[in-house]
Homo-oligomer: A and B are copies of this chain.
Amino acid sequence: MNEKVFRDPVHNYIHVNNQLIYDLINTKEFQRLRRIKQVPTTAFTFHGAEHNRFSHCLGVYDIARRVTEIFEQKYSDIWNSDESLLTMAAALLHDIGHGAYSHTFERLFATDHEAFSREIITNPETEIYRVLSQVSPDFPEKVASVISHTYPNQQVVQLISSQVDCDRMDYLLRDSYYTAASYGQFDLTRILRVIRPTETGIAFERNGMHAVEDYIVSRFQMYMQVYFHPASRSVEVLLEKILKRAKWLFQQEGYFFEKTAPNLIPFLQDHFTLNDYLALDDGVMNTYFQSWMTAEDKILADLSSRFINRNIFKSVTFNEQSQSQLYRLRDLVQSVGFDPEYYTGIQASFDLPYDIYRPEKENPRTQIEIIQKNQTLAELSTLSPIVKTLTGTSYGDQRFYFPKEMLQLNDLFAANKEIFISYTANDHFTPPKK
C-alpha cells in the first residue's frame, strides 16, 4: 500500500505502511478510542491533557514499527521478521479494551479491560477480529496472547509489556507533552539505537545505559508529580462515590436510571455483553452524570454536580499509625451533615518504579538487562546507583478525602470544623495525642 501518515505531536508523523494496520485503525472498535481519554482524571488538574487513547495507541504502534524495522535490519539473525507484524498489531491493540474511566469503573462493576481486550480481538463479531483473521485464522489468538503475556516469544511480549516497553515509552512522552510536565521527557531516539533482541527477550547496549536510567527516573517523576496528583485522585474518589451511590439507588429507583442512563443498566444489573461495554465512553458517562445533577436523591445529585463543576474534595495524607484514628475525621464529617460513606474516601497510590526479577513474587518483573562490551548481561540497577535507589521500593502516599466545606467556618458547625482543621494542618492528618 501507499504509505499513510498521521500527524502526531509526539512522534511528528505516525507512518503506516501495512494495509492490516490501516484497516485496524479504521474499525469501529479502534475509532471508539477517540472517545476515551488517556488520563481522564488528570485532565482535571492539567487542563492540557485531553488526549485520547486513540493517539496513544497509534504512538505505541509507531514505536513498535521503528523497533521492528531496526530489528529486521540489524538483528535478522536473532529476530524473526514474521514477528514484526504481530508486534505492531499487538502494540496498536494493547489498550483496545479500555473503557470510560477504566480504573474506577472496573473497581465498581468488576469489569476487566484486559479481558475485554482479549474478547474484542478474538470475538468473530468484531471488525477487529475480521481484519486480523485475514492474516491467518490463528492471528487474532496470537495477538491476544501477546497482550496477555502468554505468547511464547518473550522478545515480542517484552516489547509490548515490560519495564521498558513501547507502551510506557509512548505514554510518558505523550502525557508529558499534553500535561506540559517536562519530567516525562527522555531520549527515545537513543533508546531505539541501543535496544536489541536477545535469545530470551530484550536488552539494551551499555552505551545507552544512561538513556534507560533517565527513562526510569522520568517515569518515577511522572508518577510522583502527575499521575499521583492529589487533585486528580480527588476526581477519582468522586467518581467512585457517584457510581457507588448509583448502584445502591438502582435497587430502588430502577426507572430513573433506565431513563437517564440506559447504557449503564447492564452494569448496574451486573449482566453485560461486549456490546454493552463498547457503548460506554467518556462522553456517555459524563452525559449521565449531568442528567443526575437534577436527581431527586440529594446525594447523587450533589456528587454529580461536584464532579461536573469540578468542585472536588480536599485531602490529607495519613500513615500506618494514624490510619486507625481516621474515624475521628469521618465522625466530624458526619457531625456536619455529610454522609461519610459518600463524602469521605481513602485513596492510596503507590508505584514501584523499578524492580529486579523476583521469582518468588506473584507477578515477577522482567528486569532490565544491559549488554556490556564483552556481550555479557548485567541487570540495570547493578550499574546505576540512581536506579538502585528506586529498585524494590514503592513510592506514593495514601490520602483521606473530604468535602472542602469542612475547612469553611462560616456556618453553624464551625466548632466541629475547627477541630477537624486542627487535625489536618499542613495537609497531613495528625490525630490528637490521646
Contacts and interface: CB of A to CB of B under 8 A. Distances in A.
Interface of A: 5-10, 12-13, 26, 28, 31, 34-35, 37, 43-44, 46-48, 50-52, 54-55, 58, 177-183, 185-187, 189, 193, 210, 213-214, 217, 220-221, 224-225, 262, 279, 281-284, 286-287, 290-291, 308-310, 372-374, 385-386, 388-390, 393, 395, 425-427
A54 B279 CA distance: 27
Nearest to A425: B374
Copies of this chain in the oligomer: 4
B12 A286 contact: no
12 contacts: A5-B193, A6-B47, A8-B47, A9-B179, A13-B193, A31-B310, A34-B310, A37-B50, A47-B54, A210-B225, A220-B386, A373-B427
Contacts of A187: 182-183
Nearest to A310: B31
Nearest to A187: B182
Contacts of A386: 217, 220, 386, 389-390
Nearest to A288: B287
Contacts of A213: 221
A181 B284 contact: no
A124 B189 CA distance: 40
Given A189-B12, A279-B290, A7 B284 contact: no
A265 B173 CA distance: 43
A26 B388 CA distance: 40
B225 A221 contact: no
Given A5-B193, A54-B47, A193-B5, A12 B180 contact: yes
Given A7-B48, A13-B189, A386-B390, 6 more contacts: A47-B55, A50-B55, A284-B287, A284-B290, A287-B287, A386-B386
Contact of A52 (B50, B282, B426): B50
The 3 A-B residue pairs whose C-beta atoms are closest, nearest first, are A283-B283, A9-B180, A389-B389
A13 to B, nearest CB: 6
B48 A51 contact: yes
Contacts of A31: 308-310
A12 B11 CA distance: 13
A180 B221 contact: no
Contact of A221 (B10, B178, B214, B221): B214
